Structure 1
């Protein structure tokens, strides 16, 4: 019988607290379950001018650290601030820049989960003699038939299992996800019940190191943009562009070309510095090459299997055939998918379970 991971009492848990409602309630729930809880806020990034806008909806600000500290005070648990700015710069920001410079569209939150929360913090928690770490992610962990399994969160609108596909058995054995078994309304109710001052705080919506969402300005400041050509699928030059990092697959706005029909970015080549544009129907593809594939359990498929594949964070998983290979996998969808974007994650689901995932290398060429 399926059984969600039991939260044993009197064990120590380090809770990664961002200063938001979800991680705060995670800490509250664990204290209610009898754990010895420590709150840790990681200082990932500081605004270069030292100023964070009042309408900032990311995390990492001084206000967020103070919110986490106040919650820990309200819960009567210790709070620590861990400076990981250097690690974050190396593993997340530099990755973000290199991906855009290579014509790919990265998901920095996945890199942060893989390298910071569930690697650096997990290892650092040993110094506090912690048995587990916990986060406010909306996902669930089950232990069944000798394997830890990652499942979607109960709240389908908030599910974050997509960004956790890189986890393995050793990590899952030491991770608790208390909020994943509840919907968002229940989490806010818990916050009110606990008397937490931030019960109605808005969810973060932005990339934490780009608090205004102006990633073009960030790229201009931190990387070199080399101009190139805007071309159609046959290579005909239609105009020029300031640099491949300014574009993503499916983009319509900001192309700067007059046309009788709407034009979209359909392909980006960092090598030739060409950005290919075309009508909307040229965005649809059926097959994907996936690289850097991770399977969460030891039940690794060696032959084609039918799955549901999700190719971006805010999209639904769609029926596909997963064809494992030595160097990754191919995905073949039952229906063509729009704007398949290199650099984004392709995550593999069987029902509610994440069996693995990888990064989109490129769509498999076909007729448009």
Structure 2
């Protein structure tokens, strides 16, 4: 086996004794493969685990996707090359119920789902983490680009050093108990360095492209997956202007998202955008761009990773920075306790943002120059426009 001193790569300190068993979640990509390899070369008793999340059955018609087919074979080949055991666990039914069914139902309800968060929340960091403990793991490591830093009050979640690869938005629902057990060895590394190490180790995945789409959605065609999972559930309805005028018909709300401009099928002199989806009445509400501006969000299923109690922080009107899309930078905002919110939790944006939709996540970050620490987040249950 390769000696880590023979290559230019960091020795990983996971905060558990050398020789301790570490379970590594392996998707078959370069990130988790390098994570496992570095843990092994740094002296840990590594066990690689890959989840088989689905086959290519009625709902899925996509090749080369995460945790299916070739990816499982790639994870096995890396494990064999590095000399540690590798197991494949059949989580297909759990993934289907916890992620894919939720995806379909969320779209049918007129909201915008984020299945990658649900997968981390309900499968990888819940069921797999419990399996890792059953396997005798002192910790579980993943290839996510995010940092775990031990602060004065315990482990903290912080944004990745490589801002272009930061995955903190998708991990906001990680709990404090889970964070005690999880490790993220790549959080301090740029992606180019990870690929370089993979190449130097001769891993078969060194040049493997990153996955760009949601793993079970072929070519970004969300509606086709929903229609396969819920045949006949999409019903046509009216396209209605925010002023109440009926402007046309649509084939089903699942074909639209808040902020969408193209493909509306209605023509006016001014550009129109999808402002809101009224699934109960099968209506797509459209309007001018300024109608998209949102100033307040009501949240549900909030996770708090900051110090103290999250509800106290909200009642105090604590200043934070928030992201409502993974690709947007953190923006100034305040946590609020709003009695009109179903759960009490609300966020007021310092400057209104457009394209904010129920079903998306609102992630809290520290209100400092770096906006570095992840304080938690919640799912957007409702919005209030700036007007």
> What TM-score, normalized by structure 2, do the two folds share?
0.90
CA distance in 2, matches of 1:314, 1:46: 30
For residues 197-233 of structure 1, the C-alpha deviation after alignment (integer angstroms, 9 at most, x for no partner) is 1111110011111133221211222221011111011
Change (3 A) 1:201 1:52: farther
Aligned counterparts, 1:118-267, within 5 A? 118-223=125-230, 224-267=233-276
TM-score by length of 1: 0.94
Q: 1:321 is paired with a residue of what secondary structure?
A: strand
Shift of 1:324: 3.6
Q: Per-residue deviation at 1:52?
A: 6.0
User: Which runs of no fewer than 5 residues in structure 2 stay unpaired?
Assistant: 1-12
CA 7–199 in structure 1, closer or farther in 2 if over 3 Å, else same = farther
Matched, 1:39 2:52: no
Unaligned runs of 5+ in 1: none
Aligned 8 A contact 1:140 1:153 in 2: yes
Post-superposition offset of 1:12: 0.9
Deviations 1:305-340 (A, max 9, x none): 111100011211111112145724222222120111
For residues 150-189 of structure 1, the C-alpha deviation after alignment (integer angstroms, 9 at most, x for no partner) is: 0001100000011111111211111011111111011111
1:304 aligns with 2:317: yes
Distance 2:20 2:205 in 1: 27
The answer (yes or no) to whether the contact 2:110–2:253 under 8 Å persists in 1 is: yes
Match in the other structure for 2:71: 64
SS in 2 for 1:173: helix
1:316 equivalent to 2:329? Answer yes
- Partner residue of 2:376 out of 341, 344, 356: 356
1:329 corresponds in structure 2 to 345
Check 1:53–1:88 CA distance in 2 against 1; reply closer, same or farther (3 A cut).
closer
Of 32, 36, 40, which residue of structure 2 is paired with 1:23? 32
Measure how far apart 1:5 and its partner are: 6.1
Residue by residue over 1:238-265, the C-alpha shift from the partner in whole angstroms, topping out at 9 and shown as x without a partner, is: 1111111211100112211112122110
- The answer (yes or no) to whether the contact 1:147–1:297 under 8 Å persists in 2 is no
Q: Structure 1 pair 325/278, CA: closer, same or farther in 2 (3 Å)?
A: closer
Whole-Å Cα distance in 1 between the matches of residues 173 and 255 of structure 2?
27
Alignment of 1:46-85 (within 5 A): 46-48=55-57, 56=64, 58-85=65-92
> What does the per-residue CA deviation read over 1:80-116, in whole Å, with 9 as the maximum and x for residues that have no partner?
1100000001100111011001100000000000010
Q: Give the alignment's Cα RMSD to 1 decimal.
A: 1.7
Structure 1 residue runs of 4 or more that deviate by more than 4 Å after TM superposition: 49-54
> 2:164, 2:286 → 1: CA distance?
33
* Count of equivalent residues: 362
SS at match of 1:323: strand
Deviation at 1:127, TM superposition (A): 2.4
